[in-house]
Amino acid sequence: MAILVLKMSFVKIWVHAVWGTKNREPVLDISSRELIYQHMHHNALAKEFYIAEVNGYVDHIHCLMPLKADWSIAKQMNMIKGESANWVNKSGILVRKLEWANEYFAASVSEDKLEHVRNYIRNQESHHRKISFESEYAFFLKTFGFSQG
């Protein structure tokens, strides 16, 4: 009888994360956002994790990614948020200093909802012509059973 020996952990937890700029400052213009998204993708690969989808609006970012097997969500979020703010501020692509809010939203996404979440993230520009970030965030908290307080 052959014994299967696992040499690594297998984890497949998809996460939809959302975070805003500090004080919801609208500092992310469209051209800068594209550079930031590209950098986030490259940085993730360098840190050996993957960002499947990233997009946002003037004051926040949405990200769909699998959680790295040996990291907590807090560590992965820090690797994205902290590193990207540092890179943006060193590169000077924004007129003002970029600071992310400390808070973030993160929820698991089931396999059968991945394409829906991808499309939602891809359409942030048109989505936010109709609804504010504050309303969207409140909707997420209510939908996923979080309380604000």
pLDDT band at 129 (very low <50, low <70, confident <90, very high): confident
Q: Which residue matches tokens 């609208």?
A: 26
Work out the average pLDDT over 16-26. 96
How many whole angstroms separate alpha carbon 136 and alpha carbon 128?
A: 9
How many whole angstroms separate alpha carbon 144 and alpha carbon 37?
A: 26
pLDDT digits (tens, 9 = 90+) for 58-77: 999 999 999 999 999 999 99
pLDDT band at 86 (very low <50, low <70, confident <90, very high): very high
How many whole angstroms separate alpha carbon 113 and alpha carbon 38?
A: 24
What integer best gives the mean pLDDT of the chain?
90
For the chain, domain boundaries: 14-143
Q: What percent of the chain has pLDDT over 70?
A: 93
- End-to-end CA separation in angstroms for the chain: 56
How many whole angstroms separate alpha carbon 140 and alpha carbon 32?
A: 26
DSSP state letter for 98: P
pLDDT at 140: 74
CATH 3.40.50.970 given to domain 14-143 = no
